[in-house]
Structure 1
Amino acid sequence: MTVIRTAAAGLTLLLVAACTAPTPPRSQASTAASTACARPQGAPGAETPTTIDVIEQAYFCILGNYYSGATLDARALLSTGFTALTQELNRDGRDVPEATMPALTGDRKADWAAFEAVYRKTTDQVPDLRDKLAVVTLEAMVAALGDNHARWAHDVKRPPDYYDGDGYGLGLQANVNGPQVEGNPGVALAPLFVTTVPGGAAQAAGLRPGDVIESVNGSAPFIDGQATPAIAALYPQYPEAHPVRLRLLRQSTGRRWSVTLKPGLYQQDLATLQVVQSKLLDDDIAYVRLRGFAPDSADRALRAISRLRTGRTLTGIVLDLRGNGGGSPTEAIRLVSAFGHGKITAYQCTADNRCEAMRTDDTVELLGLPLMVLTDRSCASACEHFSSAVKDLRLGRLIGTRTAGVISGPAQAYLLGNNTLLSFPTRHHLGPDREVIDRIGVPPDHYVPLTPEDAATGRDPALAKALTLLHK
């Protein structure tokens, strides 16, 4: 399974060497070819092994194209990559004397040459680990950017018995988002509780909305109000998908008990898989839930509002963006353009603060209706682009909780020589008021969090607040 599904052009770099012999030096021509990176055109060819040449290509691709590549301290990439290499050697019990980090001076080319020389000496001592060491090194270098929109998409070889499916059948409170918790535990709010039980192991174990999770695999999800890494086990990524043991509290009865949930496939409600859902509330309010900014999602949402408007006078719109993980910035702009024209919705900026304004699409017809937007900690990326535009431009009100703070900038993909994709922002995202949203999020105009009691009784206080404001 690929980590990120993206189309790319085919380009194959074939390297042939005896697995037990040191890798021979390359010519200047081959070095130049390996360090070039290009935007993909079409479908990729078959993935070939990751090598030191591919790592070099990614290194210079980042320095040449990442939004802050010109000012980035490249030594951080190399030292983080070398740390991952030595840790992998230790895990395999195969440490070698040559695995010593070279001195780095800040000269990007000279530092790479020193790194490469030591890397080759090290991996030549453990040829059977060469592929794995290359993968962990490049993964660590990309992670060193600390950018939530930087990814390296490559095939991950799962063992035959590895589970890869729908999960535990467990929906958690809106203020928790797994990838965010792992990188920034401060985004989660206690307590950790169940919001939905769509099926699977959680349903079979009798879990209900409102059940509070007091421990995950024996560890508390919060200590002194601060989220712990234990929460990340509920959002498994390869190779961590294993049965998880939970200690639960049902507040309505005081019952405490433990269950073990094994991840697996289960039948999902098709309605929850729809990107756009709509209905009429109180006979005159259009409710639209948008689960992602997928292609054509803005037009689908607008068509849904138009259908609800047929034969009646609407008094407002509730747009539910809770759980919306983002998608296309173009779709976010197109949707916000139905509520305001002639506006700047965001800026895309370089590290030296040269910014390009993103503007409303004034070909979209204005709806001319009051807008309430429901947000939570799982509203990320393009969802935050939309939410910040609504808030800053006073096109409506945000209700719920702060958004995710996962909007460093739109990612651009680059094809590497082994037919894998490296993607990262070439520009940094700022809100309409030139404010930083990444890692901070967009605060709601009305803070209305969900509680375990709300989940247990089926109440939706954020939606109730939106309806109250529209009826004033």
Structure 2
Amino acid sequence: MQRNSLLSVVGVFLAVVLLAGACSAGFVAGRTYTGIDASSVVNLPFLTEKELVPSSTETGEQSTNQTTQDREKLFKPFWQAWDQVNALFVDQPIDQVTLMRGAIKGMMEALGDQHSSYLDPEMLKRSKALLEGEEYEGIGAWVDPTKDYLTVIGPMPGSPAEKAGLRSGDKVIAIDGEDMTGKGGEYARQLVLGPKGTSVRLTILRKGLAEPFDVDVQRAAIVTPSVTGRMLDENIGYLQLFTFGDSTFEETQKTLKTLLAQNPEGLIIDLRNNGGGYRDTAVQIASQFIDDGTIMFEEFGDGRREPFKALRGGLATKVPVVVLINEASASASEILAGAIQDYQRGYLVGIQSYGKGSVQQFVTLDDDQGAVRITVARWLTPLGRQINEIGLRPDFPVEITEEDLAAGRDPQLDQAIAVLKQKLTPPPTPVASPTPASTPHP
């Protein structure tokens, strides 16, 4: 049997972009292809030859220790059900491809892991496009579809979602008048998608408000942002990362060079509402601020740990740093923020991060039938901290209130500036004790 091509990503983006043509089920940190040679890359998204890494040659068939006879016996009830559905179902003919995809989807759901799933060909195409910074049509919001209700992670800057006033934590409880109770976030996401120029009415449940309210959002063409930067009045460099995509590392280097040429007293890295991206991009960017040592570990089910080391030649390894995080900072964002915190390269300001610490592997399926995304490991910070469903605690906890939002204030950014200008130090906070295998090396 021909070996499937494999694509490994660190955790999956909890953030799914509500974009027609770009609604990713998401990525969280990184792309590492395994088990293929350079001749296989033509049919795989995101891959270039320089990104190929060695891996085990063991296939899924070998690892299950199942014989062909075992499988035939195991799947006998499945094929029996398949045949009976095709023979007896009232509405004929039945789309066989739809049945096949539904079976794969059901298998992934049976794992009981919200980050393991099936992506049909269109979803896989959209996932690829999302992190390549292409233009999309939609409302421009990162969302979490794994909750009971579709939940806003954060609107994209300048997007229809931002202009409509959507905020992190907003729950979409109805769409165009249809109640979303019991229907799940993925179903809701599909309803929100649509072409530019059309409008969708979202009924929002917001924390702190007693009653839901309606918001009309006009869909538009949107380009996914990656990096912006500027100098603040206080001679502080400000670097904002919106995702960890295809071009984010190169854009970050370019922006850092521009900022560093102006001799800033320090740098603020804004990771708020950044739901993640490629693992390798997170390691590359962390290496701009950490000159040596392990940036993160992948920990597998058998207890093995694989370290990912800092790359030499970082541009800003000596500049004081503060990182802004919030409840929508996830995965690749947490890799970067966690490494900076563990090495004491800088402080974290804001509120506790999302806690997305698992690693997914994408396996592209034959005949262009999409891919399955399987959780294969969890990642740890350099000190061996497990952040999955826990998150990172900021050194300086700062909330943004409704009053701050209404007045256009950003107390988290103000605190970050104060930390750098006044050289503030936070009270000590307990962290996990490092294990011998994961002690950071300065």
Distance of 1:266 and 1:260 partners within structure 2: 16
Question: Match for residue 219 of structure 2?
Answer: 265
Question: Match for residue 143 of structure 1?
Answer: 109
Counterparts of residues 94-113 of structure 1 (less than 5 Å): 112-113=71-72
Question: Match for residue 409 of structure 1?
Answer: 359
Query: Is 423-432 or 285-294 further displaced after alignment?
Result: 423-432
- Which amino acid in structure 2 is aligned with residue 287 of structure 1? Y
Cα offsets for 1:310-342 (capped at 9, x unmatched): 2x4311100011122222222222222222222
Distance of 1:342 and 1:371 partners within structure 2: 16
Query: Comparing both structures, which one devotes a greater share of its residues to strand?
Result: 2
1:117 aligns with 2:76: yes
- Structure 1 residues 389, 422: closer, same or farther in 2, change over 3 A? same
* TM-score, normalised via structure 1 length: 0.61
Answer whether contact 2:114 2:146 (CA < 8 A) is retained: no
Answer whether contact 1:325 1:381 (CA < 8 A) is retained: yes
User: Secondary structure of the equivalent of 1:387?
Assistant: helix
Deviation at 1:278, TM superposition (A): 0.6
- Which amino acid in structure 2 is aligned with residue 150 of structure 1? S
Give the unaligned 5+ runs of structure 2: 1-20, 28-34, 45-57, 87-92, 124-135, 176-180, 195-199, 423-442
Distance of 2:389 and 2:279 partners within structure 1: 18
Distance of 1:340 and 1:199 partners within structure 2: 33
Deviation at 1:41, TM superposition (A): 1.9
Deviation at 1:113, TM superposition (A): 3.2
Distance of 2:171 and 2:389 partners within structure 1: 27
Question: Match for residue 268 of structure 2?
Answer: 318
Distance of 2:311 and 2:221 partners within structure 1: 39
Deviation at 1:276, TM superposition (A): 1.0
Answer whether contact 1:326 1:380 (CA < 8 A) is retained: yes
Residue 334 of structure 2 is aligned with which of 378, 384, 389? 384
Cα offsets for 1:242-274 (capped at 9, x unmatched): 9545368999xx998953636x52255x6xx43
1:471 aligns with 2:428: no
Cα offsets for 1:84-128 (capped at 9, x unmatched): xxxxxxxxxxxxxxxxxxxxxxx8977743442122222222324
- Which amino acid in structure 2 is aligned with residue 259 of structure 1? D
Answer whether contact 1:210 1:455 (CA < 8 A) is retained: no
User: Secondary structure of the equivalent of 1:428?
Assistant: strand
Residue 287 of structure 1 is aligned with which of 238, 249, 256? 238
* TM-score, normalised via structure 2 length: 0.65
Answer whether contact 2:267 2:321 (CA < 8 A) is retained: yes
1:217 aligns with 2:174: yes
Distance of 1:427 and 1:371 partners within structure 2: 30
User: Secondary structure of the equivalent of 2:147?
Assistant: helix
What is the RMSD computed on CA atoms of the aligned residues? 4.4
1:153 aligns with 2:104: no
User: Secondary structure of the equivalent of 2:72?
Assistant: helix
Answer whether contact 1:316 1:370 (CA < 8 A) is retained: yes
- Which amino acid in structure 2 is aligned with residue 350 of structure 1? F
Answer whether contact 2:155 2:161 (CA < 8 A) is retained: no
User: Secondary structure of the equivalent of 1:352?
Assistant: coil
- Which amino acid in structure 2 is aligned with residue 145 of structure 1? L
Give the unaligned 5+ runs of structure 1: 7-36, 46-59, 71-106, 158-164, 219-227
Distance of 2:139 and 2:327 partners within structure 1: 20
Question: Match for residue 394 of structure 1?
Answer: 344
Question: Match for residue 190 of structure 2?
Answer: 238
Answer whether contact 2:361 2:376 (CA < 8 A) is retained: yes
Distance of 1:300 and 1:202 partners within structure 2: 24
- Structure 1 residues 394, 148: closer, same or farther in 2, change over 3 A? farther
Distance of 1:63 and 1:307 partners within structure 2: 51
- Structure 1 residues 38, 393: closer, same or farther in 2, change over 3 A? same
Answer whether contact 1:38 1:415 (CA < 8 A) is retained: no
Answer whether contact 1:406 1:439 (CA < 8 A) is retained: yes
Deviation at 1:210, TM superposition (A): 7.9
Counterparts of residues 70-85 of structure 1 (less than 5 Å): none
Answer whether contact 1:374 1:398 (CA < 8 A) is retained: yes
Distance of 1:299 and 1:123 partners within structure 2: 50
1:442 aligns with 2:392: yes
Residue 280 of structure 2 is aligned with which of 320, 330, 338? 330
Answer whether contact 1:281 1:287 (CA < 8 A) is retained: yes
Question: Percent identity, aligned pairs only?
Answer: 21
Question: Match for residue 258 of structure 2?
Answer: 307
Answer whether contact 2:138 2:221 (CA < 8 A) is retained: no
Answer whether contact 1:216 1:231 (CA < 8 A) is retained: no
Answer whether contact 2:256 2:315 (CA < 8 A) is retained: no
- Which amino acid in structure 2 is aligned with residue 140 of structure 1? G
- Which amino acid in structure 2 is aligned with residue 238 of structure 1? Q
Deviation at 1:61, TM superposition (A): 6.6
Answer whether contact 1:245 1:260 (CA < 8 A) is retained: yes
Question: Match for residue 460 of structure 1?
Answer: 410
Distance of 1:215 and 1:345 partners within structure 2: 36
- Which amino acid in structure 2 is aligned with residue 266 of structure 1? A
- Structure 1 residues 397, 352: closer, same or farther in 2, change over 3 A? same
Distance of 2:285 and 2:168 partners within structure 1: 36
Cα offsets for 1:321-376 (capped at 9, x unmatched): 11222222222222222222221111122211111211111232444111111112
Cα offsets for 1:21-64 (capped at 9, x unmatched): xxxxxxxxxxxxxxxx978923449xxxxxxxxxxxxxx97676
User: How many residue pairs end up in the alignment?
Assistant: 352
Deviation at 1:136, TM superposition (A): 1.8
Deviation at 1:277, TM superposition (A): 0.4
Deviation at 1:133, TM superposition (A): 3.0
Question: Match for residue 426 of structure 2?
Answer: none
- Which amino acid in structure 2 is aligned with residue 325 of structure 1? G
- Structure 1 residues 400, 180: closer, same or farther in 2, change over 3 A? farther
Distance of 2:168 and 2:249 partners within structure 1: 35
Residue 134 of structure 1 is aligned with which of 72, 87, 100? 100
- Which amino acid in structure 2 is aligned with residue 298 of structure 1? F
